[in-house]
Amino acid sequence: MLTWLQRNTLTFPPLEKAMRDPNGLLAAGGDLSADRLIQAYRHGCFPWFSEGQPILWWSPDPRTVLFPDELHVSRSLNKLLRQQRYQVTFDRDFVAVIRACAAPREYADGTWITQEMQHAYIELHKRGYAHSVEVWDDGALVGGLYGLAMGQLFFGESMFSRADNASKYGFATLVRHLKDSGFVLIDCQMPTDHLHSLGARAIPRSEFAGYLARHLDQPGRATWVC
């Protein structure tokens, strides 16, 4: 039976109680306060719902992740990186990135990054948890992504691209930065062809929970400056 969260508690049910169909649905309700979101990521779940739905919390099994050493860079992307085709910054314009990620896309109806969701992650950015990657082409924002950094783990949320390979360019730059900063895993949540092309793969939820236990409270060394 699906657990409904109350606003007066930040407690989530054990991950093992997540549904098999739909895969990973753990709970519903609650709110998108910064404190609840932080607790959700620490617990191993994340919010994902459409406009008009209640807040839904997910912990799929298996979990899609990317280990920094397993980043796959295609020949075409590697050529762009060598040429320094784009300029990449961190945390220069978080609001612009999340708004771009929330914009309508040709292959999807609507967006799960609602106004409420945007406000919630902007608050997490103000608190130093959420970070953005911006990809620029001659001063124009052409790609980017955002997510949360906690301990030695990065939780990716969404990315966008307005130019060829722009989001992959930003992601590859981020992964290399995180690797150099001692991060051990990037949570990609759900599988997509885009992520698999970059080296993401599935691991059991229990294994993912082990990474949370070992690395959430280890000091991260990443710097988030332009």
The pLDDT of residue 46 is 98
- Of 177, 93, 194, 178, give the one whose Cα is nearest residue 134: 93
pLDDT at residue 226 tops 70: no
Q: What's the confidence (pLDDT) of residue 128?
A: 96
Output the six-digit token pair for 12. 């989530």
Query: Using CA atoms, how far apart are residues 49 and 33, in angstroms rounded to an integer?
Result: 15
| Gap between the Cα atoms of 222 and 28, Å rounded | 33
Buried b (16+ CB within 10 A) or exposed e, 29-46: ebebebebbbbbbbbbbb
Please determine, looking at this structure, whether the domain spanning 64-215 carries the CATH number 3.40.50.720: no
117: which 2 tokens? 């969701």
| Cα torsion angle, 124, 109, 66, 64, sign | positive
Query: How is the chain split into domains, by residue range?
Result: 3-60, 64-215
Q: pLDDT for 78-92, tens place per residue? A: 999 999 999 999 999
Q: What is the mean pLDDT of residues 44-49?
A: 97
Q: pLDDT for 121-135, tens place per residue? A: 999 999 999 999 999
Compute CA 93 distance to the chain's CA centroid, rounded to the nearest angstrom.
17
- CB contact burial 147-186 (16+ within 10 A = b; e otherwise): bbbbbbbbbbbbbbbeeebbbbbbbbbbbebbeeeebbbb
Cβ of 65: how many Cβ atoms within 10 Å?
21
Which one-letter DSSP state was computed for residue 202? E
Identical fold, 3-60 and 64-215: no
Contact assessment for residue 95 and residue 122, using Cβ atoms and an 8 Å cutoff: yes
User: Helices then strands (H, E): number in the chain?
Assistant: 7, 11
In the DSSP assignment, the letter for residue 97 is: H
pLDDT at 51: 85
**What pLDDT does 149 receive?**
97
Digit-coded pLDDT (tens) for 64-121: 999 999 999 999 999 999 999 999 999 999 999 999 999 976 645 556 899 999 999 9
The mean of the pLDDT values for the chain is 94
Q: Does residue 10 have a pLDDT over 60?
A: yes
Q: How far apart are the two ends of the chain, measured CA to CA in Å?
A: 46
Q: By three-state DSSP, how is residue 103 classified?
A: coil
Share of the chain above pLDDT 90, in %: 88
Q: What is the pLDDT of residues 149-172, one digit of tens each?
A: 999 999 999 999 999 999 999 999
Residues 6+ apart with CB under 8 A from 202: 62, 63, 64, 65, 191
User: What average pLDDT does this structure show over 207-225?
Assistant: 92
- CATH topology for 3-60 is Alpha-Beta Plaits (3.30.70)
Q: What is the pLDDT of residue 109?
A: 52
